[in-house]
Chains A and B, each alone.
Chain A
Amino acid sequence: MAIPIKDIKLPEDSPKELLLDKHVEFIKRYGKSDDDYEFGMSDYLRMSGMYWGLTALELVDKLHILPENDVIDFIKRCQDPETGGISACIDHDPHLLYTLSAVQILCMYDRLDAVDASAVVNYVTSLQLPDGSFTGDKWGEVDTRFSFCAVATLALLNRLDAIDVEKAVSFVESCKNFDEGFGSRPFSESHAGMVYCCLGFLSITGRLDIVDRDTLAWWLCERQLPSGGLNGRPEKLPDVCYSWWVLSSLTMLGRLHWISAPALKRFILACQDVETGGFSDRPGDVADPYHTVFGFAALSLLGFDSIKPVNPTFCMPQHVIDKLKIKHQLL
């Protein structure tokens, strides 16, 4: 009953060079396309969409091509005066996911003054439950992704003291599995996205000691498939976004060299759309800003000269983290 490895074959005519200018154009166009269907229908995640696009631009030193004031003004209008939380878009509800995205953007522009930062801190603090976990908003969904969002937001605002860090750590620790990976809640299967969130959380709280480094790094490096791409769980297809979740995790663990960088580079470059620009999840699929920023960020960790160094914990340009002097642990 041998089961063939789930993977893809890279098309022979796949792009092999980084099409930088096309990607910049892609992001620029995406931000301007109010009548575009994909853009119009994705307002419920706009703040994260902006974070993906703007981070991608800043990583290639092109942040200035979009109007800063419009961005800042939009973020201001998304802060909920009642709770202090920030929404994905005007008229939508505040949520931790978009609160973090907004704070990340503000840090890139060095414009944290544009929102009521202490109200943001209160919002994050209000979402911690007695067991240390965090809900995404007032409606009670618990997930380790939100633990990451909470501590990342507070670290960027230099207010980690506002929550019970010890309890937050013990909740994340309770989500650790037999393979040393992490899932979204206690007993949930390990998933590279949640592994990134939990390692990012532990990096920020300085508690990477709670993972067995080599066992988890083994699980992570086994995500690389013969095509060079990385998947997010065993027996799943490769996807550019996992290039980031897995690679940043390996970087935090000091085990980036446990996968083949040239093979992964080939895979990521093959996911570029030569016509429209942008990256897709796999060769031949539709490109989007989400896969574009994670494609850039992964290439940055692999040491691509034309992309600025990225910080593995925050998925933000390293120089921003340096300037703000944000403390975090890397092994």
Chain B
Amino acid sequence: MHGRLKVRTTEEQQLLKRKEQQKKLMAYRLGMKQILESRKQDTYDPKSLAICAQLLMVNPDIYTLWNYRKEVVLLELKADNDESEQLANFLENELKLTEQCLLANPKSYGSWHHRYWVLARHPNSNWQNEFDLCSKYLTMDERNFHCWDYRRLVLNKIGITLGDELKFSTNRININFSNYSSWHYRSTLQALTADCVQDELSLVKSALFTDPMDSSAWFYLRWLLSNSVVTHDHMRDLLDNLNQLLELEPECKWILVAKCWLLKNLQMDEGSYKTEQIASYSKLQEIDSMREGQYVDYLKLLQLD
């Protein structure tokens, strides 16, 4: 049970709650029984299908019920060869159900999968509608990874290019620098090349200077720096920037960590950076003591050199 607060109740309230729960449990068991008994290969019982929808709206994680629905969808699709209105209505109903389930529980794997599964078999699937739905859910929770994954699936169907998405991601990052999901998404949209790397570094820099305490952009920076298209000039430039930022925020661990990456990369041809790295890691040991073990490991490596 995630995030469910334990509430203190009186004995009377508890009794009442237990009664209520017994009723619900009984209804659940009766419903399951009816559905499983009516589950056959060649036909289905509409009443059971309706009960199934009710149970899923209460708990969309009951995977066997989604399986049952898929069997029914396949029966409907098989029975209908000429794309009739009845079939359209039936499939529309399935989509509505998943939407209701997702509103109640936007992180239900079963609901997302059922939705995509139905649409993939739909004779006239409206992918634009799916794209809009994604945008709506992302506004509600911009970290919902199911939704980001779904967005990526839908893109291809409506001809949105990765270039369009890059603009979308720049927008989102500019609205909120600390959205890790947007940075992740961005990393999947383009290969880093000599042409784009300057823009990427600038975007990261503006995020770092806006709020150096926020972690997201630092992870993106580490990734950029691991790529061979980042030159020593880029790195020296960035090191200057970080030193300026450090004067404003001398206790910010992220700046020190990133400084050490740069110093390590640059010391290949310029030997004088070791003392500065040792100083930074020693300071990190102090201000970020939870991760002391990591800094001690790096200090040991430096002393071995």
Give me the interface of A with B, judged by CB distance under 8 Å: 1-3, 35, 37-38, 40-41, 44-45, 87-88, 91-93, 95, 137, 139-141, 143, 177-179, 183-185, 187-191, 212, 215, 217-219, 221-222, 224, 226, 228, 233-237, 239, 255, 257-260, 263, 273, 280-282, 284-286, 288, 290-291
A189-B148, A235-B178 are known contacts. Are A222 and B1 too (CB-CB below 8 A)?
no
Inter-chain contact A263/B290, CB cutoff 8 Å: yes
Bound complex: CA A215 to CA B226 (Å): 10
**From B63, B211, B294, contact of A95 by CB (8 A):** B63
Residues from chain A with a CB closer than 8 A to the CB of B29 are 40
> Is B76 interfacial (CB-CB < 8 Å)?
no
Residues from chain B with a CB closer than 8 A to the CB of A95 are 63
Residues from chain B with a CB closer than 8 A to the CB of A263 are 290
Residues from chain A with a CB closer than 8 A to the CB of B67 are 93, 137, 139
Residues from chain B with a CB closer than 8 A to the CB of A177 are 184, 187-188
Bound complex: CA A219 to CA B181 (Å): 14
Bound complex: CA A259 to CA B219 (Å): 18
Inter-chain contact A1/B293, CB cutoff 8 Å: no
Bound complex: CA A237 to CA B24 (Å): 31
Inter-chain contact B222/A258, CB cutoff 8 Å: no
**From A189, A217, A291, contact of B145 by CB (8 A):** A189
Binary contact track B96-115/A, C-beta < 8 Å → 1, others 0: 00000000000001000100
Bound complex: CA A183 to CA B184 (Å): 11
Binary contact track B23-65/A, C-beta < 8 Å → 1, others 0: 0110011001000100000000000000000000001011110
Bound complex: CA A273 to CA B32 (Å): 32
Inter-chain contact B25/A37, CB cutoff 8 Å: yes
Residues from chain A with a CB closer than 8 A to the CB of B22 are 35, 37
List 3 A-B pairs, minimum CB-CB distance, nearest first. Answer: A178-B187, A37-B21, A257-B293
Bound complex: CA A244 to CA B62 (Å): 25
Bound complex: CA A255 to CA B25 (Å): 45
Bound complex: CA A264 to CA B159 (Å): 47
Give me the interface of B with A, judged by CB distance under 8 Å: 1-6, 18, 21-22, 24-25, 28-29, 32, 36, 59, 61-64, 66-67, 70, 109, 113, 117, 143, 145, 148-149, 152, 177-178, 180-181, 184-185, 187-188, 210-211, 213-216, 219-220, 222-223, 226, 289-294, 297
- Besides A35-B22, A37-B21, A258-B297, 19 more A-B contacts (Cβ < 8 Å) are A41-B59, A88-B64, A91-B32, A91-B36, A93-B67, A143-B109, A177-B184, A177-B188, A183-B149, A188-B145, A188-B149, A189-B148, A189-B185, A191-B145, A222-B215, A236-B143, A255-B293, A280-B4, A281-B2
Residues from chain A with a CB closer than 8 A to the CB of B211 are 1-3
Min CB–CB distance A200 → chain B (angstroms): 19
Residues from chain B with a CB closer than 8 A to the CB of A178 are 184, 187-188, 219-220, 223
Inter-chain contact B3/A282, CB cutoff 8 Å: yes
**From B2, B290, B297, contact of A260 by CB (8 A):** B290
Q: Which residue of B lies closest to A239 (CB)?
A: B2
Residues from chain A with a CB closer than 8 A to the CB of B117 are 139-140
Inter-chain contact A185/B178, CB cutoff 8 Å: no
Inter-chain contact A37/B215, CB cutoff 8 Å: no
Min CB–CB distance A168 → chain B (angstroms): 20
Inter-chain contact B213/A2, CB cutoff 8 Å: yes
Min CB–CB distance B243 → chain A (angstroms): 21
Bound complex: CA A236 to CA B18 (Å): 33
Inter-chain contact A1/B210, CB cutoff 8 Å: yes
Residues from chain A with a CB closer than 8 A to the CB of B59 are 41, 44
Inter-chain contact B6/A224, CB cutoff 8 Å: no
